[in-house]
A and B are shown apart, each in its own frame.
Chain A
Amino acid sequence: MRWALDNLGLLGQLTIAHARLAIVPVAVALLLALPLGALAHRVPPLRGTLLGLAGLLYTIPSLALFVLLPPMLGIPYLSDLNVIIALTLYALALLVRTVTEALESVPPDAVASARAIGYNGTSIFLAVQLPLAGPVLLAGLRVATVSTVSMVTVGALIGVSSLGSLFTDGLQRRIVPEVLTGVVLTALLALLLDVLLQLAGRVLMPWLRAERAVATA
């Protein structure tokens, strides 16, 4: 506690850096996963291939990716970009499956009736399929967010600053409170982002509360 209070400025900086290194990859991955998941959903022969590749991608150890990416992409090892790209790939691997399954969870009746009353392809996707895929999408997004927050810490091993730096630094200098602070703050950050996602879900999907109230009545 003492140690944390003496280093508030540093902790603030590292928390913000950490949040950025987690949020950017998840957001970018979601934007990429939407068209890929839609493709896997629309073209059944591609489903297996796309989801298989995604699964394979996820099995590459993160440290290996941090080391392999820079020479492949011509970026420096010690850069935020290195971590952001690697974590985007992991989040993408999770979210392509999420988006595919979320679209599959949409009741076909709702899609058919939207088509029957004159929604075109794009508006069916944006105004019907996407919102109705919302609950499954949100669940997957929460998993991806929490796991990305925890993976950011690995970046500290190659020297990219985040709350993970408190682990590496604390270990080297044998400051146990520093390591503990890092653990607690990482968990709190994950929790905070998770709560924010749940709140966003409530605001964006008001019909779910109505449905749940009926289901439990």
Chain B
Amino acid sequence: MIEFEGVTKRYSSASGAAVDDFSLVVPRGTTTVLVGSSGCGKTTLLRMVNRMVDPTRGRVLLDGEDVAGRDPVALRRSVGYVMQNSGLLPHRTAAQNVAVVPRLAGRDRAAARSRSLELLELVGLDPELADRYPAQLSGGQQQRVGVARGLAAEGDVLLMDEPFGAVDPVVRGELQHELLRIQRELSRTILFITHDVEEAFLLGEEVVILSRGGHVEQRGTPADVLAAPANEFVAAFVGAHRRDRRLRVDERDGVRLVVDGRDRPLGVLTDEAP
């Protein structure tokens, strides 16, 4: 479980707060997505969990324990972190990049290697690619390795900072569904950052819509947010008024067709459970 308690971050005394009095609970085994436009403080919030950034005021707790009391290096070794552009070490192969995490945690070489191969398989990387350097992998493959490395941490918390932001939409879709599958299997406590609302709605059990200064405009399940946007900002941000979000049912020959605001058919309405 991750808890933010009235967290504020000022990078310098002259500047305004990057994050101002932010509170949030991410329950164990769930995925919470922070979504907001550039510069609203998402990365700052994420980095306060593993002490890459220390809060100016307030506390961040992991399983009830204030991270301020933890040794930063030991803390980071136990918390998974995945960043945009994969953040892989260019001079280490895919397998070595993942193995670094168990190695830092004190495992021997062989154990680290086998754990690494196991995780690369879990994220769906072709085993033949394991001994390639990052430069020899596609963006999507690099990102899979990045996710495997995040999962290699022994704690259950996984921090993901726009992990799929730099890959093309098709590959992004694949990676999102892989993550959902892995999460069904592993039930990690995931704090995920994106500025893509669709991605937030797909991956988040809870989504938090942020504006400048880490201000929470609304939090709730994707259904809650779409059904009842808290204010104009949220409505505009999630595109509640957008024509492709305004769906209605069109009866044709006894079949109930779902169409969007431009009359494009999206599917058929049934009463069967999926």
- The interface of chain A, by Cβ under 8 A from chain B, is 107, 109-110, 112-120, 128, 131-132, 205, 207, 210-211, 213-214
Contacts and interface: CB of A to CB of B under 8 A. Distances in A.
**On chain B, which size bracket covers the interface?**
20 to 34
Contacts of A213: 136
B77 A207 contact: no
Contact of A205 (B85, B91, B104, B132): B91
Interface hub of B85, B104, B149 (most chain A Cβ within 10 A): B104
A210 B73 contact: no
B133 interface: yes
Interface of B: 50, 52, 73-78, 81, 83, 85, 87-92, 100-101, 104, 132-133, 135-136, 149, 153
Contacts of A205: 91
Contacts, number: 64
Contacts of B85: 109
A113 B83 contact: yes
Given A207-B133, A211-B133, A116 B90 contact: no
Nearest to A109: B87
A117 B148 CA distance: 12
A207 B149 contact: no
Contact of B101 (A117, A120, A131): A117
B135 A115 contact: no
Interface hub of A107, A115, A118, A119 (most chain B Cβ within 10 A): A118
B40 to A, nearest CB: 20
B80 to A, nearest CB: 8
A128 B89 contact: yes
Nearest to A210: B133
Contact of A119 (B78, B88, B104): B104
Interface hub of A117, A128, A131 (most chain B Cβ within 10 A): A117
12 contacts: A109-B87, A110-B90, A112-B83, A113-B83, A113-B89, A115-B76, A116-B50, A116-B76, A116-B81, A117-B104, A118-B74, A214-B136
Contacts of A132: 90-91
A207 B91 contact: yes
A157 to B, nearest CB: 44
A153 B77 CA distance: 53
A117 B73 contact: no
A112 B91 CA distance: 15
Contacts of B88: 110, 113
